[in-house]
Chain A
Amino acid sequence: MALLREVYEALEDIVGPDNITEEPATLDSYAYQWIAELVADGSKFLTRPEAVLLPGSTEEVQAIVKTCNRYKLKFHVYSTGWGPWAAAPTEGQILLDLRRMDRIVEIDEQNMFAVVEPYVMAGQLQAEAMKVGLNNHISGAGAGTSVLANAACFQGGGPDCIYFASPQDSTLAIEWVMPTGDILRTGSLGSDLGWFCAEGPGPSAQGVIRGALAGAGGWGVITKVAVRLVHWPGPSVMPIEGTVPAYNSTLPENLFRATFPAFPSWQAFADAVYKIYDSEIGYIAHRQFIMWGDELQAAFLKVVTDPTRQLCDLKELLEMPEIQQLTEEMRRNFQLILVGMTQRDLEYQQKVLDHILSETGGWNVALVDEPAMQRYVLLYMIKLCFKNLNFTASGSFLDTYNTIASPDVWASEEMETVKELMKKYAGRIVDAGEQAMGPLSGQAGGGISGWENFVFYDPQDPDSVKASMEVSDEGDKIKAEKGRPPGGMLLGLARGTHGDEEIRAKKLSKSPEYRWQRKLKEVLDPNGVGSGNYFWGAEPSKEGKK
């Protein structure tokens, strides 16, 4: 169903003929998505948009949105487009690709914040921030994600939240083209006083833009955001060495140290997390390499740090006694990057960590103190430049049994449940053991912890695809039986975003916030042109009745 010519021409007048297309091949490139196969009957293609536009400014975005209101045309929007929530959720929508809006508007070095447009990647901002001794939060999905999308449009947490704070906390003023086409500038920006304050006057409008989650492309267009930065005591450009892909970085030893604390029991693990919270050490704190599974993480580390190695080497590596020993040693470990603001600071943090390990019976896995591994891990965790390694094993991944709670959840029996669940499907998914990756804290200063447990599957193998969904659903079922909230985030998002109105409606009927969200949507998007992605879009009639 093509757009009416009148509508197409109105849009073309705004962005220019080079920045709008209906070319089917291009439209399909916007419909092709990671995990599309889960909800599109095995196809890699979700819904094709009617057209794709590339706006170049807030003014163009506003004009597009107003045009959509005039013609009651739904629009969806994305920055990098990584994930099924990036594709148009239903037929008859246009899609805005914001890649032309890619400026770093300013970096206020003294007051430690940056203002960016949608297509500034976390890695780009970091490179500029480091030049002035600053650093920015990078979401768990890595350096190639949009700073703005992480801050205001999706989820955005990551390994550094313990020090850098969650994206919600770090977001300052926002410029938002609302679904009506009006422009809201929040906080101090709305009073024309700059970007430094997110809140006020009075109630904070940021509360409408994002919550735990955000609009995911269906809630107007965020065109600029200011984000807080933190201090970076390292070099203005991180020196990179090594042969591709085993890049690494040598950082001053008196200020930087990567550690792999590991523990004899989950209780000791949990206790150590609390002690890390209490003693306020750590710049980046994450259970990261477990993404490859407790059975494979040691071997995988050997592969990725050696440019001559490949995945076929896993077999040989796993048979080596030293790798088997390392695998055992690393089972209950995480990555803790200590960064000293001064040399004394680092020395203190190292002593504290030693003390914590001694109190909990833990140890620092010696592997990380090998110079090459130290350099690799520092680069990896600071730049998060290798995050596509999530896909390395089999080409795609899902998650199951995700759990967010206090750190004591690590010491509950849930990790055993995760292992058993994964073992049940091993073979149809990668046989890797438990793959419970997660932050030591999703909040600054410590607070909630937990994991998303990865499921590596082959997206072009129908049985593997099926198995990944089964393990995600079974995980949810087990959690429900235990009275815990559902865990399989990605499958839930894919389903919630695309089709399956019933599941969405069921969810909506149970939880009171959706009623209020829908009211917000009705009032702030009266013509319903925001794409109806995610959970905003279900009709009131599908809500459960008392």
Chain B
Amino acid sequence: MAGEKDELIKIVGAENVINDPVTLDVYSKDHSFIPPRKPRMVVKPKSAGEVQGIVKWANHTRTPLVPVSSGLPHFRGDTVPSSEGAVIVDLSGMKRIIMMDRRNRVAIVEPGVTFSKLQPELAKEGLRLSMPLLPRTSKSVLGSVLEREPIMNPRYSWSLSEPLRCLETVMGNGDIYRTGELGGASMSTSTGQVATPMPLEEVLEKRREKQETALYQYGPGQFNYHKLISAAQGTMGIVTWASLRCEILPHVHRFFLVPSERLDNIIGFAYKLLRIRFHDEFLFLNSSNLASILGEGTEQIMGLREELPPWILIFRLAGRDIMPEEKVEFLEKDIGDIAQQCGVRPESAIPGARDGQVGEAVLNPSKEPYWKLCCKGGCQDIFFLTTLNRIPEFVTTMYSLAEAFKYSQSDIGVYIQPTHLGTSCHLEFSLPFDPGDGGEVAKVQGLFTKASEELGKQGAFFSRPYGIWADMEYSRNAEHTSLLRKLKRIFDPNSVLNPGKLCF
């Protein structure tokens, strides 16, 4: 054991190898219902070379590794070891913003870069990154993107991986591999079997001279490695940097809110806007979620829940660079026409939310404490993909199950995020609970499990299969499971990367 620690110290330095009980306890659990398990050590690499060293060491010693990019709190269970003796590879110290390029609208970041850090830096360049809904301040951009967290702007969601483009990874066998236009022959200085990658800065410099950038994410060759490590919960590779397609920071924008008593009443209107891409950020929240976002403290949140309409469609119109005012103006007029046909009214303010307040909130990462924990201190999410037209039936199911479990319907947060240009839709139920109340914990755990099963049977697609969802999905998808296991044996032959997750 001491010997192994020494080996790791040689790779990352003494200050970056931690095994005190307090630290290990922190990494042993998260807000999910995954059973806790203590890791053996935590290592904090600062470079791809160090990551590679750790992975090679893990292969040699057959040690499970659990990659972690974001800071606390964690929610999904993917950062809790599933095997004994695991070593946490905490990448939060790799936090360089390697490159930002306004002209080509691309940035390259390391895994420890958070949204809170990145957005202000991009703003200086006139850029921003399409974001998920109020990520916590410690949330790693790459962690979010690699796990296919939906972004709020469906029209930039050209695939579910957006804005991810090229990346560098350390594979399970210790090889470094680069994807997209930053991969292939250009990455290597050697003609041998194992590519020795050129330092990224050198690659980028050479490529700049040839007007090449970092946006084309496919290949190289005939397979898309970046798809094989997406939503993989760190089981297929440890990403050490990635390029991200950025948006231009809008010059002009307006947020609109469409309140409704019933979800069905605004879904038709939503489809119309999604179809013609007359929107930027575009999402639905129920009163519970919006209250948690806008409110400060439990009392205010409860009050807002009463004030806010049950359902709110939130969308932004933005104008950039050339004639931004005209853009927003014509969009507003046309949307006004469409809204009239649909019998809805987009407003800039609604009871409970004043003009600009919602926009201010959703365009930034969450304040502290993380908004989902504001209500009761704990929260469990159920989320999956479906199509927008099916959302009401899932909501009905969730509400009736809540009733069966005597869980207050008004506590349930609902977040509906059309994605992939409106073809699919992320539906997320948040179940706040008091983690100090054993009874409530048990209730929510029961509800979580039952709802996951019922929603799954009803047609929920757990495309990001955390925890119990993994068994549910893989048991109904034998061929995919078989394929993943074969891929795992290819890319992580000694199964050192987060074993026990997904179907591994």
* A191-B477, A202-B231, A447-B245 known; A212+B222 contact, CB < 8 A: yes
A352 close to chain B: CB less than 8 A:
yes
Whether A192 contacts B476 by the Cβ 8 Å rule is yes
Whether A212 contacts B490 by the Cβ 8 Å rule is no
Distance of B391 from chain A, by nearest CB (Å): 12
Question: Among A183, A197, A279, A442, which residue has its beta carbon within 8 angstroms of that of B322?
Answer: A279
CA gap between A535 and B185 in the complex, in Å = 15
B405 close to chain A: CB less than 8 A:
no
Question: Among B334, B482, B487, which residue has its beta carbon within 8 angstroms of that of A208?
Answer: B487
Q: Please name all residues of chain A whose beta carbon is closer than 8 Å to the beta carbon of B27 when the two chains form the complex.
A: none
- Chain A 310-344 near chain B by CB (<8 Å), digits 1 or 0: 00000000000000000000000000000001101
Residue of B nearest to A274 (CB): B103
B241 close to chain A: CB less than 8 A:
no
* A199-B231, A204-B228, A512-B195 known; A352+B480 contact, CB < 8 A: no
Interface residues of A in 161-181 (CB under 8 A from B): 165-166, 168-169, 172
Whether B194 contacts A546 by the Cβ 8 Å rule is yes
Interface residues of A in 268-283 (CB under 8 A from B): 274-275, 277-280
B61 close to chain A: CB less than 8 A:
no
Max chain A Cβ within 10 angstroms of own Cβ: one of B221, B326, B473, B479: B221
A361 close to chain B: CB less than 8 A:
no
CA gap between A87 and B156 in the complex, in Å = 39
Interface residues of A in 225-255 (CB under 8 A from B): 228, 230-231, 233
Q: Please name all residues of chain B whose beta carbon is closer than 8 Å to the beta carbon of A485 when the two chains form the complex.
A: 184-186
Q: Please name all residues of chain A whose beta carbon is closer than 8 Å to the beta carbon of B218 when the two chains form the complex.
A: 166, 168, 211-212
- Contact size class for B? 35 or more
From A38-46, A108-116, A256-264, A467-475, give the one contacting chain B: A108-116
Q: Please name all residues of chain A whose beta carbon is closer than 8 Å to the beta carbon of B482 when the two chains form the complex.
A: 182
Whether A208 contacts B387 by the Cβ 8 Å rule is no
Whether B193 contacts A546 by the Cβ 8 Å rule is yes
Question: Among A200, A347, A483, A513, which residue has its beta carbon within 8 angstroms of that of B219?
Answer: A513
Residue of B nearest to A200 (CB): B463
Q: Please name all residues of chain B whose beta carbon is closer than 8 Å to the beta carbon of A404 when the two chains form the complex.
A: 181, 216
- Chain B 75-90 near chain A by CB (<8 Å), digits 1 or 0: 0000000000000000
CA gap between A514 and B225 in the complex, in Å = 12
Q: Please name all residues of chain B whose beta carbon is closer than 8 Å to the beta carbon of A275 when the two chains form the complex.
A: 321-322
Question: Among A274, A347, A512, which residue has its beta carbon within 8 angstroms of that of B188?
Answer: A512
Residue of A nearest to B388 (CB): A111
A93 close to chain B: CB less than 8 A:
no
From A7-15, A59-67, A299-307, A518-526, give the one contacting chain B: A518-526
Interface residues of B in 453-504 (CB under 8 A from A): 459, 461-465, 469-470, 473-474, 476-477, 479-480, 482-484, 486-487, 489-491, 502-503
CA gap between A411 and B503 in the complex, in Å = 50
A213 close to chain B: CB less than 8 A:
yes
* A213-B221, A546-B193 known; A183+B213 contact, CB < 8 A: no
Max chain B Cβ within 10 angstroms of own Cβ: one of A208, A352, A483: A208
Q: Please name all residues of chain B whose beta carbon is closer than 8 Å to the beta carbon of A352 when the two chains form the complex.
A: 322-323
Q: Please name all residues of chain A whose beta carbon is closer than 8 Å to the beta carbon of B271 when the two chains form the complex.
A: 110
A215 close to chain B: CB less than 8 A:
yes
Interface residues of B in 220-251 (CB under 8 A from A): 220-233, 236, 245, 248
Whether A516 contacts B223 by the Cβ 8 Å rule is yes
CA gap between A196 and B389 in the complex, in Å = 12
- Chain A 405-425 near chain B by CB (<8 Å), digits 1 or 0: 110110110000000000000
A4 close to chain B: CB less than 8 A:
no
Distance of B197 from chain A, by nearest CB (Å): 9
Whether B222 contacts A184 by the Cβ 8 Å rule is no
Whether B185 contacts A442 by the Cβ 8 Å rule is no
- Chain B 203-215 near chain A by CB (<8 Å), digits 1 or 0: 0001001111101
CA gap between A107 and B221 in the complex, in Å = 31
CA gap between A324 and B218 in the complex, in Å = 42
A118 close to chain B: CB less than 8 A:
no
Whether A514 contacts B221 by the Cβ 8 Å rule is yes
Whether B422 contacts A111 by the Cβ 8 Å rule is yes
Distance of A357 from chain B, by nearest CB (Å): 11
* A197-B385, A205-B480, A208-B483 known; A545+B216 contact, CB < 8 A: no
- Chain B 363-405 near chain A by CB (<8 Å), digits 1 or 0: 0000000000000000000000111110000000000000000
From B33-41, B51-59, B275-283, B350-358, give the one contacting chain A: B275-283
CA gap between A214 and B218 in the complex, in Å = 11
CA gap between A416 and B285 in the complex, in Å = 55
Q: Please name all residues of chain A whose beta carbon is closer than 8 Å to the beta carbon of B337 when the two chains form the complex.
A: 342
Q: Please name all residues of chain A whose beta carbon is closer than 8 Å to the beta carbon of B224 when the two chains form the complex.
A: 168, 204, 206-207, 210-211
Whether A199 contacts B227 by the Cβ 8 Å rule is yes
A186 close to chain B: CB less than 8 A:
yes
A-B Cβ contacts below 8 A, count: 313
Q: Please name all residues of chain B whose beta carbon is closer than 8 Å to the beta carbon of A111 when the two chains form the complex.
A: 387-389, 422-424
A446 close to chain B: CB less than 8 A:
yes
Interface residues of A in 501-527 (CB under 8 A from B): 509-517, 519-520, 523-524
A187 close to chain B: CB less than 8 A:
yes
Residue of B nearest to A510 (CB): B185
Question: Among B211, B327, B421, B477, which residue has its beta carbon within 8 angstroms of that of A112?
Answer: B421
Whether A201 contacts B465 by the Cβ 8 Å rule is yes
Question: Among A211, A348, A483, A517, which residue has its beta carbon within 8 angstroms of that of B326?
Answer: A348
A356 close to chain B: CB less than 8 A:
yes
CA gap between A208 and B386 in the complex, in Å = 24
Distance of B466 from chain A, by nearest CB (Å): 10
A103 close to chain B: CB less than 8 A:
no
Q: Please name all residues of chain A whose beta carbon is closer than 8 Å to the beta carbon of B323 when the two chains form the complex.
A: 279, 348, 351-352, 355
Max chain A Cβ within 10 angstroms of own Cβ: one of B211, B213, B225, B276: B211
Interface residues of A in 389-406 (CB under 8 A from B): 404-406
Residue of A nearest to B213 (CB): A406
Distance of B255 from chain A, by nearest CB (Å): 19
B295 close to chain A: CB less than 8 A:
no
Distance of B392 from chain A, by nearest CB (Å): 14
CA gap between A143 and B401 in the complex, in Å = 50
Whether A443 contacts B216 by the Cβ 8 Å rule is yes
Interface residues of A in 417-459 (CB under 8 A from B): 442-448
Distance of A300 from chain B, by nearest CB (Å): 29
B66 close to chain A: CB less than 8 A:
no
Residue of B nearest to A226 (CB): B423
* A112-B275, A202-B464, A448-B216 known; A169+B158 contact, CB < 8 A: yes
Whether B192 contacts A544 by the Cβ 8 Å rule is yes
CA gap between A493 and B388 in the complex, in Å = 42
CA gap between A209 and B211 in the complex, in Å = 30
CA gap between A265 and B418 in the complex, in Å = 42
Q: Please name all residues of chain B whose beta carbon is closer than 8 Å to the beta carbon of A205 when the two chains form the complex.
A: 480, 483-484
Residue of B nearest to A412 (CB): B211
Q: Can you list the 5 inter-chain pairs with the closest CB atoms, starting with the nearest?
A: A212-B219, A546-B192, A207-B227, A200-B463, A341-B276
CB<8 Å pairs between A and B, sample of 9: A169-B158, A187-B461, A201-B480, A202-B503, A203-B502, A443-B158, A443-B215, A447-B215, A447-B245
Known: A199-B148, A200-B473, A204-B231. 18 other contacts (CB 8 A): A165-B158, A166-B158, A182-B482, A184-B480, A187-B461, A197-B463, A201-B473, A201-B480, A202-B484, A205-B480, A208-B228, A210-B222, A212-B216, A279-B321, A406-B104, A442-B216, A516-B225, A517-B221
